[in-house]
Structure 1
Amino acid sequence: MALPKKLKNMNLYNDGVSYVGQCKTVTLPKLGRKLEAWRGGGMDGPVKVDLGHSDDGITLEWTLGGWDLTALRQYGAVSVSGVQLRWAGSIQRDDDEQVSAVEVVVRGRHEEIDMGDSEGGEDTEHKFNTACSYYKLTIDGSVEVEIDLLNFIFVVNGEDRLAAHRKAIGL
């Protein structure tokens, strides 16, 4: 029997600046594919064909307690990959005490900053929604998924799933 690995602690870094003690929550990006039904002649039913990454894009949502000028000053970044965020998580199984390091690195720009409610003597939180052009998931030092939308790169478990396509179009 094995128990699941659970997040025990985390930190978020914004362009190398640590948010230890300030980052309340991080919603890691959903990974989605755009699949559309295709039913050609001689087929008894449709199959979903893969048309690349989801139109919903890659988004990282995060919440800080209090005010942070680093992120506020990044608002309106011109480059689609102008901000780098790195989430580091420590996960552990409670049956064998095994600890694993999980890291998600994204590059993008802040699509939305929600300054929240302001009331004297009450907690203050700011919520950020960062639209990403790059995503990399690393577990215990092994890159599991890497998506670089600008450079037409999509790697899963060491397999570059777009290499043949890049070659076919001369990239």
Structure 2
Amino acid sequence: VESLTLPKFTRKYEKYRGGGMPGAVDVDLGLDDSALDTEFSIGGTELLLFKQMGKATVDGIQLRFTGSIQRDDTGEVQAVELVVRGRHKEVDSG
């Protein structure tokens, strides 16, 4: 994997103003529609990605990404693991 864009967790709110309320309040509706989107790019063409596009279930594919992050101030390195389940929305081979 050449690059990985982690999900940006954002909440979805809807304004609510009940009778007698002087102003509206935000009602929390959970995560935003695109809050769990993850993007990655690889070098070359991977035929398995095209085969996985045919999966019918919403959790048909499990991907595991591993790597590490390093602190700028201390140089400490920490292992990071990301496991995602779902389907591919787009495979761009070009």
> What TM-score range do you get, normalising by the shorter chain?
0.7 to 0.9
Match of 2:4? 26
Say which structure, 1 or 2, has more relative contact order (CA 8 Å, 6+ apart).
2
The structure carrying a bigger strand percent of its residues is 1
> How many pairs align?
94
- Counterpart AA for 1:74: Q
2:67 maps to 89
Judged with a 3 Å threshold, the aligned counterparts in structure 2 of structure 1 residues 94 and 32 are, in CA distance, closer, same or farther, namely closer
Whether contact under 8 Å (1:91, 1:100) holds in the other structure is: yes
1:84·1:107 contact (CA, 8 Å) conserved in 2?
yes
Q: Unaligned stretches of 5+ in structure 1?
A: 1-22, 117-171
Shift of 1:57: 5.2
Superposition map of 1:1-171 within 5 A: 23-56=1-34, 58-116=36-94
Q: Secondary structure at the match of 2:52?
A: coil
Unaligned runs of 5+ residues in structure 2 are none
SS in 1 for 2:88: strand
CA contact under 8 A between 1:76 and 1:110: conserved in structure 2? no
